[in-house]
Chains A and B, each alone.
Chain A
Amino acid sequence: MATPDNPIVFLVDDDPRVREALCSLISSVGLRVAAFGSAAEFLAFEKPDAPGCLVLDLQLPGVNGLELQRELAGGDAPPIIFITGHGDIPSSVRAMKAGAIEFLSKPFGERELLQAIDAALALDGTARLKRLELAELRKSYSLLTPREREVLPFVVAGFANKETAGELGTSEITIGVHRGQIMRKMGARSLAELVRMADKLGIAQTARPS
């Protein structure tokens, strides 16, 4: 079962009773569970390279659930399912706004929780793929020479080689060579693909002079 790709559910709740019950419930459907009593313990844990999700109690000693969510935001953190003893509306709104998958008030039914976990794991799987793709793109992009990186925005903005050469003060042939190199290094089969790649990498197209 413990293959790297086997999904894992992280559970953070300071109440040992709840922790025990949820561990039992989640493992009963054949998912891996890792339970923690506080945010610090969770952060210290070495996560396996596998799709996962985080079941997080809102009220925690020290760093509370919302703060932990804020801390994880932006990284490769797994999707979060909040659970709370008394869910007030402002907290739930904040949690959902910050990207939580679900906000469950205790006591909750097994269906709600397990469905949320399934959705979260699927979401994480996709996100991981995207991250992988982006990492590869970045790797390719890192192979470009500084001059090629200079040329790339002109290419993806649809400049003809002649125009680009005019802008950069060089010859059309040189730009053609750069363009070929860029296509090769980025592994783009067409200009359209290159444009998409640049878009994913967040490279701004050079604006055409009006």
Chain B
Amino acid sequence: MGEASQLKVLFQIRRYGLALICCGLALALAWWLDAPTSCLFVAVMVASLYGGKGPGLFSVGLSALAFDYFFLPPRFHFYMNSSSYLRFGPFLGATLLIVGLIEARRRGEEARRQIAAQVQRSEAYLAEAQKLSRSGSWASAADSMQTTYWSEQMFLLVGLPPADHPPSVEEFAALFPPEARARLVETFESARLKKTAFDGDFPLISQNGTNRTLRIVGHPVLGASGEILEFVGTAIDVTEQRQSSAALQRAFDEIKGSEDRLRLIIDTIPVPAWSSRPDGSSAFINQRWLDYTGISVEEALGWGWKIVVHPDDLDRTMEYWQAILADREERELEARLRRFDGAYRWFLFRVSPLRDESGRIVQWYGTCIDIEDRKLAEQALRASEQNLRLMVHCIPGFVITSTAAGEVELVNQTLQNYTGKPLEELKNWPAVVHPGDLPAVGSLWTRSVKTGHPFDADVRVRRADGVYRWFHCRGLPLRDNDRRIVRWYTLLTDIEDRINAEDALRNSERDLNMIVETMPGLVWCAAPNGELNYVNQRILDYIGTNPQALAQAGWLNFLHPDDVQPTIDAWSNAVETGEPHDVQYRLRRFDGTYRWFHVLGQPACDADGHPTRWYGLLIDIDDRKNMEEALRSTQTRLSRAAQTATVGELSASIAHEINQPLAAVVANGHACLRWLSAEPPNLAKAHEAAERIVRDGKDAGEIIRRIRALFKRASLEKTALDMNEVIGEVLRLTRSEVVRRGVAVETELEQDLPPVVGDRVQLQQLLLNLLVNGLDAMEEAADRPRRLFIRSKHQASEGVLVEVRDCGPGLAEPDKAFEAFFTTKENGLGMGLAICRSIVEAHQGRLWAESADGTGATFYFILPMREPNGDSR
């Protein structure tokens, strides 16, 4: 048990002891005085008063027991008769009442004491609070400004010494400057009239140079009928508060102004700018940005700004922006932004983060700087630099720059590639120069470096594979404003091929000259105007003169007089038109005889097609001419002879021609007889038959008349023949004729044809006839090329096929062409193709014709091959 509760118990025991003692004393006194009631009353009173409620009741109990035992009859018994109740009851009631009254009073006393303590404490608190808050409280009368109460703090507030009484109205008024004083009075009067509270700040007259302001607040205390009983209020020193709020206001104003200025600056700086939230979405965008992009701020905020980023840059930009956000570092980025007019320009985005004290990023700030022009300039510069570098490295020459002292500084890539040496090694350039050229080149270079003369030399430079090639070197000095040499630029050009070509040209010229002079041909050259300016030695030898004499006499003097005019005409025409010159004339030999020459001239033309020179040849064709003449007469004779020789072969055809009408005559005769001998004779039919006999007989006579001139049969001499050989012989025989008629003959002769058995002359005749037939057919053809095509071919089963195709008008009836006396020619006898057929049939072959109308006729014949045993099939 604690000491306090021990004390309490002790105190309780003392109180109850007091009650016991009081009761004892009262019993003794009552016994002695025999005034039990009064004595016991006193004892209860004392016990209650000093012991409290518990001891009071205790003493009531003791008193009641003592009164019953000692004083009520029967005495000394607790037993009580009914008459005693009348005394005991009131006694007990009175004692209990006494205890109750005393207890009630004691309680009221206790409560009052506690309230007083509370009030005292509150006042202490208030005073303390007022001191702390520099405020004081006051009360004043209802009708005047005379204050009735001032708290201690009030005095301190106004700087008066604390006193028991509030200052008088005059004293109080003197505290304020006149202006504040008047206002104070006015305020108070107004509040009094309106019965409202008032509140105002009033400056005090400055003391010790400090200006203080008092805030005075007053409330009317109204009575039951609404009249003002008094004013109570407080006064607070608000000097510091006012000062700080004024300072705050000023600071606000300052901030406001600077914010406006900032916004103005931000909006007017010639740079689009913006800020973003930490997540990257934009929070602010300046006017410049909006003006540039032409979109509204609502569109641009958040992520809306993405629409003005160039689509090609968007992904990259977003990626980079996210990286920036992730790295939380200040960065730069280049991207294209769309201008209001749709054009894209390059911008440099520069962003930097704003962090709070804890380093957390609060905002990103960024600007966009237009770098389009810089970008373009950069590109142009890069391109031009690239071009220049490419140019230097790609030009098919070597470029060297050297110092003023002649030391190699730089060489281009081509030279490094060529020599297979890097720049460092090339600084020792004599190492790659041909030793034979080195002394000369070295001294030239030294001299150039010394004098500043351009350097110019041909030199052999070694290639990576060790081969030397000729180069032309040309070096020029670069001089500064003072004419001092700053650097040498040298260009090496590969002239190996040119030198080789020059050598080759020289050689070929020499060779050509030798060829022209020694060849067994006659060669001449002429100027574009036709003037003869060169003839080779052979021509001079032929005509037996020398160049001077030829020049004097003129070449026309050596021509046959009959050929001079046609030759002049042809040559003038050739010179005029630039067409190749092609004539034949007779040229006088040194011994005075004339020989035929075929003269060919060809112009050499420049790029524009103008002749620069004529080159020509004289070909001696005298022997050929004579031979042609001989051949032609032979041919005519042969043709005649062949025709004679083939008449025998025609007999079958002739027989057929005659037998046809004869057969008709005989049959008609028989028929006529039969009609006549019929029962009855049919005279009409017989007459018809007789008429036909006459007609057909006449026909037969006509045919015989046509054959009259034909010749007798000749015997055949069959041998094994190569058909290609026969074709060749016939072509040779007819070449002149073919040329004369302006026909081109093409052949397609199969090699290694098997031999056929036949009469050479007859087969020649056959081919000759077909050829001449073709030539004749094309006589009229002016609208298409005159071409004759001859082909030989080995047909596996049948023998050798020969085909002769012309470009004539073709055959209307190919089958009839072979009939004797069938002709389309005015002067033809109509025997040519009939003879051909008879020849072919005599050789057991086949002859036929095909014609596609308008594209010429084709004649085919097949001759059987020689059998292995040497006999024909």
Contacts and interface: CB of A to CB of B under 8 A. Distances in A.
A59 interface: yes
Interface stretch (A101-109, A135-143, A169-177, A179-187): A101-109
Nearest to A22: B667
Given A28-B675, A29-B674, A109-B670, A85 B664 contact: no
A28 B652 CA distance: 32
B404 interface: no
Interface string B655-697: 1110111111111101100110010001001001100100110
Given A25-B671, A28-B685, A85-B656, A107 B666 contact: yes
Contacts of B652: 86, 88
Nearest to A110: B670
A28 B674 contact: yes
A86 B657 CA distance: 9
A97 interface: no
Interface in B631-663: 652-653, 655-657, 659-663
Contacts of A163: none
Contact size class for A? 20 to 34
A62 B814 CA distance: 10
Interface stretch (A1-9, A12-20, A119-127, A154-162): A12-20
Contacts of B653: 86
> Which size class do B's interface residues fall under?
20 to 34
Contacts of B655: 85-86
A49 to B, nearest CB: 28
A106 B659 contact: yes
30 contacts: A17-B661, A17-B696, A17-B699, A18-B663, A18-B667, A21-B666, A21-B696, A24-B675, A24-B685, A24-B689, A25-B667, A25-B671, A28-B674, A28-B675, A28-B678, A59-B656, A61-B816, A85-B660, A85-B663, A86-B655, A86-B656, A105-B659, A106-B660, A107-B659, A107-B667, A108-B663, A108-B666, A110-B670, A110-B671, A113-B667
A117 interface: no
Contact of A17 (B660, B671, B688): B660
B663 A83 contact: yes
B678 A85 contact: no
Smallest CB-CB A-B distances: 8 pairs: A106-B663, A85-B656, A21-B667, A110-B670, A28-B674, A107-B666, A24-B671, A17-B664
Contacts of B662: 106-107
A194 B738 CA distance: 77
Contacts of A62: 815
Interface of A: 15, 17-18, 20-22, 24-25, 28-29, 59, 61-62, 83-86, 88, 105-110, 113
A110 B653 CA distance: 24
A64 B670 CA distance: 27
Contacts of A110: 666-667, 670-671, 674
A112 to B, nearest CB: 11
A29 B653 CA distance: 32
B667 A85 contact: no
B729 to A, nearest CB: 30
A18 B696 CA distance: 9
A28 B659 CA distance: 23
Given A15-B664, A106-B666, 19 more contacts: A15-B660, A17-B660, A17-B661, A21-B689, A21-B696, A24-B671, A24-B675, A24-B688, A24-B689, A28-B674, A28-B682, A29-B674, A61-B816, A85-B663, A107-B659, A107-B667, A109-B666, A110-B670, A110-B674
Interface string B156-175: 00000000000000000000
Contacts of A59: 656
Interface string B600-626: 000000000000000000000000000
A113 B661 CA distance: 17
A101 B675 CA distance: 27
Contacts of B663: 18, 21, 83, 85, 106-108
A101 B662 CA distance: 23
B813 to A, nearest CB: 9
A15 B665 CA distance: 13
Interface in B780-823: 815-816
B64 to A, nearest CB: 159
A114 to B, nearest CB: 9
Nearest to A111: B670
B678 A24 contact: no
B648 to A, nearest CB: 14
A24 B678 CA distance: 13
B85 to A, nearest CB: 162
Nearest to A106: B663
Contacts of A86: 652-653, 655-656, 659
A51 B308 CA distance: 107
A83 B671 CA distance: 17
Contacts of A15: 660, 664
A25 B699 contact: no
Nearest to A105: B659
B664 A20 contact: yes
B659 A24 contact: no
Contacts of B656: 59, 84-86
Contacts of B668: 20-21, 24-25
Nearest to B653: A86
A18 B664 contact: yes
A18 B666 CA distance: 10
Interface string B208-229: 0000000000000000000000
Best-buried of A24, A108, A110 by chain B (most CB within 10 Å): A24
B834 to A, nearest CB: 13
Contacts of B665: 21, 107
A24 B665 CA distance: 12
